[in-house]
Each structure stands twice: as structure tokens, then as C-alpha cells.
């Protein structure tokens, strides 16, 4: 008996000791005498996989490490135009050779100067197969990069109209430091030239950054930042309401009323280049091989209701599988609008007057409410939709299997930070890509040519023709342009941009 009491007491001590492990000395978000020195607390959805710029490919990682590192180029938040950043100017020497002049006043936070060598190193690192960078595919078009003084000479394998957009996402890492400490240590203790320096990372809980007072573009307004990872949306909203967080990401339109009703809070939103779309399987033997069926579906969907009711108005209708923010968008195309009677007509014309059953493939990564809304709309014109929901890895395997036996239609969200038609309609619809379930040699020729020249006028005309083909054959339908949504406290001032950049240096306390 006494032994059991002893045992219980011992366990109690262990637990209390253990709890001190769990206790985080989270910097109280509302303390500090001066509001200017307040730490900004950000609630992200997921924890970044790591801090190494070359090894990441998701929003949550970008949100953190792009504050530690600088990118080669930037975009104007309002116009989307590509602007100088680390590269202060550039010129295209020939169709395949570009010269970038690097600023000479940038230093990494360990004191070392940023030079053209670091830029070259950053590129080569990503291209190195032993490094296993998921971004390698984007940079593959670069055949070589050389440093000459403060000039970086980049040669591409063929003329690349999207090189600049890729370089907007190139983060510069310090060559000397990385080669000295190795990749693992660099990941644990990253050093960059950005507006913020890395302080600490409590795995599973938060990452802390503090302002880089010597930042070449001027010290940022916000003195320190803490990124927390809160997977559940309702919890993030609760954190915002209780003051635990000052800005949260990954909210949906349904959360907006809750936030707007609170006088202390505000919602930031901006249209992005992400597009919600439906893609049809026109390769396998399914009813959607017939463009008439697809046109019928295009008429059957109530786009306005989708946007007004599901997205609470936070979406913009589109007339093609591309957003107006992307280069190549053709404003002369009219697209399809909601007309269920016409849909039924076309279905009858296609031979399905008595209805038809279609399989829809989707994954848990996509908003299932939209999927079910589509299902509901199609049911009203006589199309029964059977939903095949898998988790994302299974979905990818199914859809990317060359046999293309994944069903008749799928819903997804596509984004290409390149903001260029090449990044959207090429991988989605050109014959032979891992996603495309459509084949048309004429279309292929157009998009192939559009990516092989850097002449914008020529490209616009090629894309216009290509998009007309897409409108006629309907291998896909553009549903809506996605708006990015963030919840924040009223005292925070910020203008989000279409690329969904999360630069803390652009934020400030408004009082």
C-alpha cells in the first residue's frame, strides 16, 4: 500500500517536472510599455518543414523564411510588375543570356557582404541533384550561372519568358557560411540578408525572428515576430479574438463575419492569381470526352451563387482557366455563364437527355464544400456526380497515372507564382504533362511557341489563340479567382499582394 502511494507520488513529481518542459515562456503579446516594440504574433496553419530556402515549396515555409532571406527580384505590390531588389538592374544580352547587376550594399547578418557569387551559389545549389530540391524543376531552364564582379550572367537552355518570374522566388543564401557549416547546421541556424534575423525555433510551437537593424533597405517597423503553428482554423480565430495573435492566415470566407463583427479586428483581402477550376478527362472513354457535355456542365454551374454564398463574395468570376492577374489573360473571351436550360439542351444534344452519371476525383486538400455545391448544381440538370474523395497522395497518384483512368472531372485550385499563362494552361492542358487529360496538336504548337520566345506581343497573340481553343473544346472551366484572406487586429497596417507574399517588413503598427 505504501509502495503504491510512493509510486503515485513519484509519478506526480515527474508530471510536474515534465510540465515545465511544456511551459513556454511565450512573450506576452500585449505586454511591453511601447506599442512600437510589441512582438507581432502570427498564427500560421502548418509548421514549416525547414528554414532552407531551396528545400521548401509551401506557403507556411515561405511566410517565415522569406523574411530571413532576400530574393533576387521583387514585384510591385500594386501593379505586379517585376522590380529590382537584390539585382538592381538587368538586361537581356541575347535570347538566352541575361545579365543581372547586383547591389553592393547588402550584407548578411553575420557581417559578410552579399555578392554575385552568393547568387550563383544559390542557383547552383537548387539545381544540384544531390541536394534534392523540390524547386529544381522551376530552375531547370537555367543551363549556367556565372559571377563576374557584381554581375551574374545567367544562360538559359532556350529562350525563357518566365525566367524573371522564377527569379522573383530565388532566395539568396550565404555561400561561405553554408559551405562552412553544412546544410543541416544551416537549416538549424539560418543566416540571410533579409529584414529579419532568425532567433529561435521551438519545434511544434513557434519560430521567433527579430529585426535586422542593418537591413540595406532600412530597418523594418516591427521589432520582432513570433510565428505560431495552429492547425485548427477555429483555434486561430479564437487566438485572434483573445489577443493571443495579431494576424492569422488560412481563414475562409465563413470566418469573415465573426472577425468583422469584432470592433477590435479587421480583415485583409486581395485577389490573387490562384484559380478555382474544373478539369475534364478527355482522354479516357468517358462522357466528358465530348466537348458538348463539358459545355453543358459549364452552363449548369451557378457561379454567382458559389461566390456569393460559399465564398461570401470573396471571389471573382473568370471567363477562362486563368486569372486577370496573369500574363496572357484574354479579356475578349466571354466564357460561360449560368444557364441551366441551355445545359439541359446541350446534354440532350449530346445524347444524354435522360441524364448521366459522372465520377469526380478530388482530394482532401481542396474545399469540399465547393465540390458538393458543384454536385448539387449538376444534379439539377440531370447529371449525377459520384465523388471520389481520397487523401492527397492517393489523389495525385490516381490523376497522374498515364492511363488517365481517374474519372470524368476533377476540381482543384491552381496557382503559379509566375503569374503567367505558361505556368497555368501549359501544365494543365498540353499533351503529355503529368496533369493533362487533353490532347490537341494545334493547341500544343501554340503554347510551345509561346514559351520559346521572350517577345511579349507575340506571346499575347499566341495565348489568345490558345485560350480560344480551350473555350471551344472545354477541357476545363474556370470557376473563380481566389481571394486571399487574413484576419488581423485593427492596429496593424498592411497591404497584402496578389502573390500572397508575407513580408513582415511591409507591416507596421498603425498607432
Partner 1 sequence: MSQGTTTEELSSLATVTSSKLRTPPWKRRWFVILPFLLILLLFVIISIAPGLFAKHDPIYTELGQRLQPPGFVDPNGLTYIWGTDDLGRDIFSRVIHGARVSLIVAVSAVLVSGILGGILGMLAGFYRGVIGTVIMRLADILLSIPFLLLAILTVAVLGPDLINLVIVLGIVRWPRYARVAYSATLATVNRDFVKASEALGARSGRLLFRHILPELIPPLLVVATLEVGLMILFEASLSFIGLGVQPPDPSWGSMMATGRNYVASAWWIATFPGIAIFLIVLSINMIGDDVRDRLDPKNKRR
Partner 2 sequence: MLYVVQRIAQALISLLGVATLIFFILRLTGDPVLLMVPQDSTAEEIAVMREALGLDQPLGLQYVEYLGQIFTGDLGRSYIQNAPVSDLIMDRLPYTIDLAMAAFILTVLIGIPIGMLAALYKGTWVERVCMPIILIGQSMPAFWTGILLIMLVSVQLKWLPSSGVDGLESLILPAITLASLSIATVARMTRSSILEQLGQDYVRTARSKGASTMRILFRHLLRNSSIPIITVLGLEFANLLGGSVITETIFAWPGLGQLTIQSISARDFPVIQAVVLLGASFYIIVNLLTDLIYGWVDPRIKLRRDAS
Residues that bind partner 2 (CB under 8 A): 1, 4, 8, 11-12, 14-15, 18-19, 21-24, 26, 46-47, 49-50, 52, 55, 57, 129-130, 132, 134-138, 140, 183-184, 187, 203-205, 228-232, 234-235, 238-239, 242, 244, 391-394, 396-397, 400, 414-416, 423, 426-427, 433-435
Cell numbers that stand for 51 in this block: 528554414
Residue number with CB closer to partner 2 (19 or 263) = 19
Residue number with CB closer to partner 1 (258 or 415) = 258
Residue number with CB closer to partner 2 (136 or 325) = 136
CB under 5 to 8 A by kind: which of partner 1, partner 2, none does 185 bind?
Answer: none
Which of 335, 342, 274, 345 lies closest to 470 in space, CA to CA? 335
- For residue 310, give the DSSP letter: I
Q: Shortest distance, CB of residue 351 to partner 2, whole angstroms?
A: 35
Q: Shortest distance, CB of residue 368 to partner 2, whole angstroms?
A: 16
Q: Residue ranges of the alpha helices (H) in 363-490?
A: 368-379, 392-400, 421-429, 441-450, 456-473
β-pair type (151-156, 97-102): antiparallel
CB under 5 to 8 A by kind: which of partner 1, partner 2, none does 144 bind?
Answer: none
Residue number with CB closer to partner 1 (240 or 492) = 240
Q: Residue 115: is it exposed, middle or buried by C-beta count within 10 angstroms (0-12/13-18/19+)? A: buried
Residue number with CB closer to partner 1 (390 or 415) = 390
Residue number with CB closer to partner 1 (47 or 359) = 359
Q: Where are the beta strands (DSSP E) in 129-249?
A: 142-148, 151-156, 196-202, 206-211, 224-229, 247-248
Q: Shortest distance, CB of residue 278 to partner 1, whole angstroms?
A: 17
Q: Shortest distance, CB of residue 233 to partner 2, whole angstroms?
A: 11
List residues near partner 1 by CB under 8 A.
Answer: 232-234, 237-238, 254, 257-258, 305-306, 309-310, 364, 368-369, 371-373, 375-376, 387-391, 393-394
Residue where the block lists cell 449525377: 384
Residue where the block lists cell 454551374: 301
Q: Would you tell me how many other CB atoms lie within 10 Å of the CB of residue 23?
A: 8
β-pair type (73-75, 265-280): unpaired
Residue where the block lists cell 513570433: 226
Q: Reduced to 3 states, what is the DSSP secondary structure of residue 68?
A: coil
Residue number with CB closer to partner 2 (232 or 511) = 232
CB under 5 to 8 A by kind: which of partner 2, partner 1, none does 337 bind?
Answer: none
CB under 5 to 8 A by kind: which of partner 1, partner 2, none does 400 bind?
Answer: partner 2
Cell numbers that stand for 500 in this block: 500572397
Cell numbers that stand for 39 in this block: 512582438
HSE value, Cβ hemisphere, 13 Å, CA-based, for 421: 27
Please provide residue 472's backbone torsions phi and psi, each rounded to the nearest 5 degrees: -75, -45
Q: Shortest distance, CB of residue 85 to partner 1, whole angstroms?
A: 38
Q: Shortest distance, CB of residue 225 to partner 2, whole angstroms?
A: 17
CB under 5 to 8 A by kind: which of partner 1, partner 2, none does 8 bind?
Answer: partner 2
Residue number with CB closer to partner 1 (110 or 357) = 357
CA distance 178 to 54: 12
Amino acid at each position: 500500500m505504501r509502495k503504491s502511494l510512493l509510486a503515485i507520488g513519484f509519478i506526480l513529481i515527474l508530471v510536474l517536472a515534465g510540465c515545465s518542459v511544456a511551459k513556454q515562456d511565450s512573450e506576452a503579446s500585449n505586454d511591453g510599455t511601447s506599442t512600437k516594440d510589441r512582438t507581432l504574433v502570427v498564427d500560421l496553419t502548418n509548421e514549416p518543414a525547414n528554414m532552407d530556402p531551396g528545400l521548401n515549396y509551401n506557403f507556411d515555409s515561405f511566410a517565415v523564411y522569406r523574411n530571413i532571406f532576400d530574393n533576387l527580384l521583387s514585384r510591385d505590390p500594386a501593379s505586379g510588375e517585376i522590380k529590382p531588389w537584390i539585382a538592381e538592374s538587368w538586361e537581356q544580352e541575347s535570347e538566352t543570356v541575361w545579365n543581372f547587376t547586383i547591389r553592393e550594399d547588402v550584407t548578411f547578418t553575420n557581417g559578410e557582404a552579399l555578392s554575385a557569387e552568393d547568387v550563383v551559389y544559390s542557383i547552383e545549389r537548387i539545381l544540384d541533384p544531390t541536394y534534392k530540391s523540390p524547386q529544381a524543376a522551376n530552375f531547370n531552364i537555367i543551363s549556367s550561372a556565372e559571377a563576374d564582379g557584381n554581375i551574374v550572367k545567367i544562360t538559359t537552355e532556350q529562350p525563357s519568358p518566365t525566367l524573371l518570374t522564377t527569379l522573383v522566388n530565388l532566395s539568396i543564401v550565404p555561400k561561405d557560411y553554408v559551405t562552412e557549416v553544412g546544410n543541416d547546421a544551416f537549416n538549424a541556424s539560418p543566416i540571410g540578408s533579409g529584414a529579419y534575423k532568425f532567433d529561435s525555433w521551438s519545434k511544434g510551437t513557434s519560430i521567433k525572428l527579430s529585426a535586422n537593424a542593418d537591413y540595406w533597405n532600412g530597418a523594418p517597423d516591427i521589432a520582432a515576430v513570433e510565428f505560431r503553428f495552429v492547425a485548427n482554423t477555429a483555434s486561430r480565430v479564437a487566438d485572434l479574438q483573445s489577443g493571443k495573435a495579431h494576424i492569422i492566415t488560412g481563414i475562409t470566407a465563413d470566418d469573415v463575419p465573426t472577425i468583422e463583427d469584432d470592433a477590435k479586428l479587421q480583415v485583409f483581402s486581395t485577389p490573387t492569381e490562384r484559380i478555382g477550376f474544373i478539369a475534364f478527362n478527355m482522354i479516357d472513354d468517358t462522357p466528358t470526352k465530348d466537348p458538348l457535355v463539358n459545355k453543358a456542365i459549364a452552363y449548369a454551374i451557378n457561379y454567382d451563387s458559389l461566390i456569393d454564398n460559399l465564398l461570401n463574395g470573396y471571389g471573382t468570376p473568370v471567363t477562362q482557366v486563368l486569372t486577370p492577374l496573369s500574363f496572357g489573360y484574354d479579356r475578349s473571351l466571354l466564357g460561360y455563364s449560368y444557364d441551366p436550360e441551355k445545359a439541359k439542351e446541350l446534354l440532350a444534344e449530346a445524347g444524354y437527355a435522360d441524364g448521366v452519371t459522372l465520377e469526380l476525383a478530388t482530394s482532401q486538400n481542396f474545399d469540399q464544400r465547393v465540390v458538393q455545391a458543384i454536385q448539387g448544381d449538376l444534379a439539377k440538370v440531370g447529371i449525377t456526380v459520384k465523388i471520389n474523395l481520397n487523401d492527397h497522395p492517393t489523389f495525385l497518384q490516381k490523376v497522374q497515372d498515364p492511363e488517365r483512368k481517374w474519372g470524368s472531372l476533377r476540381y482543384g485550385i491552381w496557382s503559379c507564382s509566375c503569374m503567367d499563362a505558361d505556368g497555368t494552361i501549359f501544365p494543365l492542358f498540353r499533351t503529355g504533362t503529368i496533369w493533362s487529360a487533353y490532347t490537341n496538336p494545334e493547341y500544343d504548337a501554340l503554347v510551345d511557341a509561346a514559351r520559346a520566345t521572350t517577345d511579349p506581343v507575340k506571346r499575347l497573340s499566341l495565348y489568345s489563340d490558345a485560350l480560344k481553343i480551350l473555350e471551344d473544346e472545354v477541357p476545363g472551366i474556370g470557376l473563380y479567382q481566389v481571394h486571399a484572406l487574413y484576419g488581423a487586429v485593427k492596429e496593424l497596417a498592411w497591404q497584402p499582394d496578389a502573390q500572397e507574399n508575407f513580408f513582415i517588413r511591409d507591416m507596421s503598427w498603425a498607432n
